[in-house]
Structure formats: C-alpha cells, structure tokens
Amino acid sequence: MVGRQIQHYKIISELGEGGMGKVYKAFDTKLERYVAIKFLNPLLLKDSLFLERFRTEGKNHAKLSHPNIVMVYGFIEYGELIGLIIEYVEGITIENLLTRYHRLNLIYSLKIIRQVLIALEYAHSKGLIHRDIKPSNIIIDQNGIAKLMDFGISKSVESKTDLTRFGRNVGTVLYMSPEQINNQESTAKTDLYSLAVTLYEMLDGSPPYFYDNEYKIFDAHLKQIPQRLSSKYPDIPPEVDELILSAMNKSNTINFSTSTEFRRAVEELIFSLPVKISQITSTTENVQNQKKKIGRGILIPLFLSLAFFSLAGLSYLFVKNYLPDNKEKLTERTINFNSLESNPKSEWQKLNVISEGNLTDILFLDNKIYLTDDSGNILYGDDTSGFGFSEKLISSGINRILNYKDKLILFSNNGKILITNKELKEVKTLDISNESILSADIYGNKVYFCGSNGLLGNLNLDLLSFNLFVNIPETDFLDIKFINHNKIIAVGIDGVVIISNDNGLNWSKQKLQTNYLKRIAIHPNKDLIYLTGSLGTIYYSEDKGKSWNEFNLKVSSPINDILFFDLRNFFAVNSTGDFIYTNDGGSTWNIKKTEQYLPLNKIITDGKNLYIIGNNGLLLKKNI
C-alpha cells in the first residue's frame, strides 16, 4: 500500500493497525496537506447494514469542527477499499505517555481531562456520543493541545453486538461503561464513565479493573468500586477519588450527568489543589528507577507550560496561545522597498456561503466573486446577497479557477480543463490527463498547469491546443507560476523546485528539503520569490530562483498561501486558522488568530479588502 496513489491521496507510511483495519499517513495532493486514512478491514465490508451505519455516522461526525477533536474530512471508496479521511496530527497519545512514564502528574492529567471534556461538551451538544474513550484515543499535539480521536467509528462498531462484546480488544473492554456491557442505550454518562477510567489510569499507571479475563472485567465494572488512589499515593488527595467515583456513577454524593458538570468539577479541583510543578511524588518502583524520575521531571514542566484562561462565563476554554511573540525577529535581511503603511485588523467578517465543501480557489470578475470547492461546485455571488451554487459542471473537485477574455478556465482533479462563460453555461471540456491538475498560472494566451505524478504542460487558450512536457521528475507538483514571459517555476511534494528559462522546453532541478513545498508567490519586482513549505518553513530567493535562503515562521502547521499586497505588506494563512502578516517587507512577522480553527487555503485581495477561503465553506473578509 505504501507508495500507492489512491485517487488524490499518496500513501506515505503505515501508522498502525487495529480491529477496524489499518491506518496510513497520506498526502492529499488536492488540498496539499497530510491526512490519515483508516481503511476498513475487508471482513467488515461484507455486512451491508454495518456499512450503511458506518457511512451515516461518518457523515455526522465529519460535521464536527472543534480544536479538541481530530476532524473527519470524509470517506474514500476506491475499488474494494473503503475508509475515512482523518486529520493527521503530529503528537503523542496518552497511551504512549503512560508506556513511557508509567503514571502522569496530577495537575497535568486534570488539565488534559478538562480539554477532553470541552470536546465532549461540543460533541454531546450535537447529539453525538463517542463510546470508545480510552488513552489511545486522546492525542497531545506538538502545541500541547489534547485532541479526541476516532469519532465516526465507535458508534458504528457498537451497532453490532458481536463486535462490541467479543470482537473488540481487551484495551477497549477495560474502559467500558456498565450500560455498554448491559447492551443498553448509551448516553453522555457513557463517555464520562470511560473518561474517568482513563483519568484513573493516567494517575495510577493501570486502569481500575485490570484482570486477565474479560468476564472478570465486565463483572468489576458492574459491581466493584475501584481502589482509592489517595490510599496508594500521598500526592493524590481524597477529592480526586470523589471526582472519579462521581463520574463512574458509584458515589452517593454527586453523579455527573453532563460533561459540563464534570468539567466544572475538574476546574474547581485544579484551582483548589496546591500547584507543585517541579515535584511529582514517586511510587516505590519509580524511586528505584532514577532514570524514569528524571524523565518525568523533564516532561511535566514542559506540558505544564500550558496556561489557563479565566473560567467565568465561558462555555468552553482553550489552552494558552502557543504562537511566537508578535515582534519576534525572523531574519536580518534588509530589502530596500518603499515604505507603505498598513494596519491589519484582527476582526474578520464571515460571509454567507451555502456550502460545507472545502473551498479551493476564488476569483473576482465583473463585481462577482466565484468560488470553487473540492466537490466540483462553483459558487458565485457577492458580499451582500451571499453565494449560491451553479449547476454542477463536473463530478470531480476543482482545484483552480482563472479568467481569460471573460471566460472561466477550471482545472479539475480528474485531469480535465473546463472552459465556460461567466454565466457558467457554454462549457467546453478538454481531456488533458488521467492525473489530477493541482494548479495553473496564466500569461498572455497561455496557461501552464501542473499536477500529480509529474504532470506538467501548457495550453494555448486561443487555439485550445495543449502540450505535455516530458523528462519531468515523477513527483506531485503542487504549484506553478510565471516569473516572466519565458521563465517558469514549479514546486513539488518532496521539496523539489524546477525552473525553466525557455517556456518549458528544458528544466533545471533543485531539492530544498525532504518535505513538501506548497505555494509560490512572485513579488511585483519579479526578483523576490517566496516558496511556502511544511511546518511554517518559507524559502525566499532575491535573484529569481538562482539561490535560496530559508526562515521559519515558528507555527506548527503548513503555510497554505502568501499574498504580496504591495511592496512592504505581505499576508499569509495556514492550516490552523492563523493570519500572518508583515509590514516591513518580510523582516518581522506578526501572527493573529482569525478565530476559525480550520485550514485556510488561500488569501486574495480586491485592492480594498482581504478575502480568505478555507475548509467547510469558509469565506472571510476584512477591510484593510
């Protein structure tokens, strides 16, 4: 499977395997991001009822958009393969942390549980129960944010009694609620029970009922009260026992019925406990193992650098902003540009777009705004009246839209170029390739386009004749731009940059990094070129691509687009909803949140306003 191209996903590596099937890391060549793909076990595909429920639940969970939930982007069906496309998160699971450190710090554990409860508040408000909460389904990303995984799968799995009771691994049975064991309807309490069991394991190193027999575990969940942690560890007060027992519905004092109640109790406990960040009480085993103690001493201060926002009046809270200081110096280079003032505001207006698809491109033409998405839709309208769908012109996603002589040129994911009028009526289709066309740029009457598996070519828009170049590296090219009338540059998934000085007849190749390069931005002076890379890396050339330097914006996610607004003001967006800008030609950069926790795919201007498009039909506007 590794190395295969399945639709517009290139399989990079295998991440893991479970009862549901295998999980792979893949690169989405259409949206230019890494994803995780969970392919279902072929044995499950034989059950039509299961598949129907699986698809229904997957669609529901794909609508969840929350910073503490790993997003489900959609389905993939390719031949006999069926799976889910999931947000790829670089991080470490609670399960892996427990394997490494045995038990975790009390305050740190409570703060992680609090973040998961914030996610559950959101999901439960949407009528969705997770049903499979456990340490392996909670991941901590590189910024210390806890994310709940595997929404969209657990409920479908539990729709089959045999899969719930006997087909699932012991690790899941360890966290089952009594109602799940009794095959009763799951409620919000189901998730709270499993989360309390998870908290117990985080503090103890083992779940409360850890036996070698499934039926002993079932019986314990139904009848036993777990041993109090305060009797084992001097660093854990009795209030923690009461918290856990309340969530497990085995206390006569308080029985949490909602995630909000549980979350408020956790917050109250955090504030009432003495915070001793630099010290953690060791168990007898850890006293005998000094290396583990040192390891925890390093880990705990790192994670406890997360800050708490004020709790009053908030429906849910977020962890401390992890972005660098706005005045942080990123490079000492000096560019002699004219000084032009700009004062980007932090407020963004969200425009009404009737689409849940991921927007891929935006075009201004004759006082109208045209939008394309990854389902093949074209939306058009304006800021006042909103945006509606056109008739669907193609079944595949549209990655790029350009304008030539009042015509719209559309580049699709199935290798076709569509040419239509402004009313989206008279459509001419050109079959270019079986590969995805991922980007294009226009100069005069010629369009140069690029795509997957080394696709590179040009199209004469007057003659409607096209040419595909040969001797091109077999990589996925994600963007292409004109530097001048005969010089062209393209970037690829594996850090490759190719440049032609003769309109594409010959190409020189450079490899700047091992990760992908996403976007090309050509400065108005034509000498300065920016290339965006993964994990906030930007390469720049001040000699039209002959030599390259790099700097990093110190953000955790890829920079998806850069706009040169004028000689001094550059704007950029990334995959975690950040608006990034410089007022001094790139010497210093500022980072502000748009308050949208979604991938932002492109930024563009009409001269007076900035517009940003993103996933889930997101369109933002800000006056500058």
Task: Evaluate the CA torsion angle 219, 224, 228, 231 in order and state its sign.
Answer: negative
Contact 30, 8 (CB under 8 A): yes
Which pLDDT value is given to residue 163? 35
Reply yes or no on whether the pLDDT at 617 is more than 80.
Answer: yes
| Per-residue DSSP letter, 353 | B
- How large is the average pLDDT for residues 213-227? 85
Which pLDDT value is given to residue 337? 33
Which pLDDT value is given to residue 268? 86
Nearest in space to 132 (alpha carbons), one of 83, 71, 198: 198
pLDDT digits (tens, 9 = 90+) for 409-420: 999 988 999 999
**Which of 10-24, 91-105, 122-136, 167-181 has the least mean pLDDT?**
167-181
State percent of the chain over pLDDT 70. 81
Which pLDDT value is given to residue 390? 64
Contact 571, 583 (CB under 8 A): no
- How large is the average pLDDT for residues 501-520? 89
Task: Evaluate the CA torsion angle 313, 318, 322, 327 in order and state its sign.
Answer: negative
At residue 228 the predicted structure's pLDDT band, cuts being 50, 70 and 90, is: very high
pLDDT digits (tens, 9 = 90+) for 357-374: 789 999 999 888 999 988
pLDDT digits (tens, 9 = 90+) for 182-210: 877 788 888 999 999 999 999 999 999 98
Which pLDDT value is given to residue 57? 65
At 464, is the secondary structure helix, strand, or coil?
coil
Q: Which residues contact 127 (CB under 8 A, 6 or more apart)?
A: none
Which pLDDT value is given to residue 254? 57
Reply yes or no on whether the pLDDT at 341 is more than 70.
Answer: no
Tokens of residue 76, six digits: 């993939």
Contact 609, 621 (CB under 8 A): yes
Reply yes or no on whether the pLDDT at 292 is more than 70.
Answer: no
At residue 49 the predicted structure's pLDDT band, cuts being 50, 70 and 90, is: low
Which pLDDT value is given to residue 309? 33
At 124, is the secondary structure helix, strand, or coil?
helix
Reply yes or no on whether the pLDDT at 355 is more than 50.
Answer: yes
At residue 310's C-alpha, the angle toward residues 305 and 313, to 5°, is 150
Rg (CA), the chain: 27
pLDDT digits (tens, 9 = 90+) for 513-558: 877 888 999 988 767 999 997 777 899 999 888 899 988 887 767 8
Task: Provide the mean pLDDT of the chain.
Answer: 79
At residue 59's C-alpha, the angle toward residues 54 and 63, to 5°, is 140
**Which of 280-284, 311-315, 584-588 has the least mean pLDDT?**
311-315
Distance, CA of 599 to chain centre: 7
Which pLDDT value is given to residue 526? 67
- How large is the average pLDDT for residues 23-32? 88
Higher-pLDDT residue of 203 and 234 is 203
Reply yes or no on whether the pLDDT at 91 is more than 80.
Answer: yes
Q: How far apart are the first and last CA of the chain?
A: 48
Distances from the Cα of 137 to the Cαs of 95, 131, 153, 576, in angstroms? 8, 11, 12, 21
At residue 215 the predicted structure's pLDDT band, cuts being 50, 70 and 90, is: confident
Domains and CATH numbers, the chain: 5-87 (3.30.200.20), 91-303 (1.10.510.10), 557-624 (2.40.10)
Which pLDDT value is given to residue 389? 64
**Which of 307-311, 455-459, 547-551, 567-571 has the least mean pLDDT?**
307-311
Contact 293, 285 (CB under 8 A): no
Higher-pLDDT residue of 169 and 72 is 72
- Give whichever of 17-26, 206-215, 259-268 has the largest mean pLDDT: 259-268
Tokens of residue 601, six digits: 């795919």
Higher-pLDDT residue of 459 and 313 is 459
Nearest in space to 512 (alpha carbons), one of 525, 527, 499: 499
Q: Which residue in this structure is represented by tokens 């594996």?
A: 494
Which pLDDT value is given to residue 50? 67
Reply yes or no on whether the pLDDT at 29 is more than 50.
Answer: yes
Contact 533, 520 (CB under 8 A): no
β-strand partners of 9:
6, 28
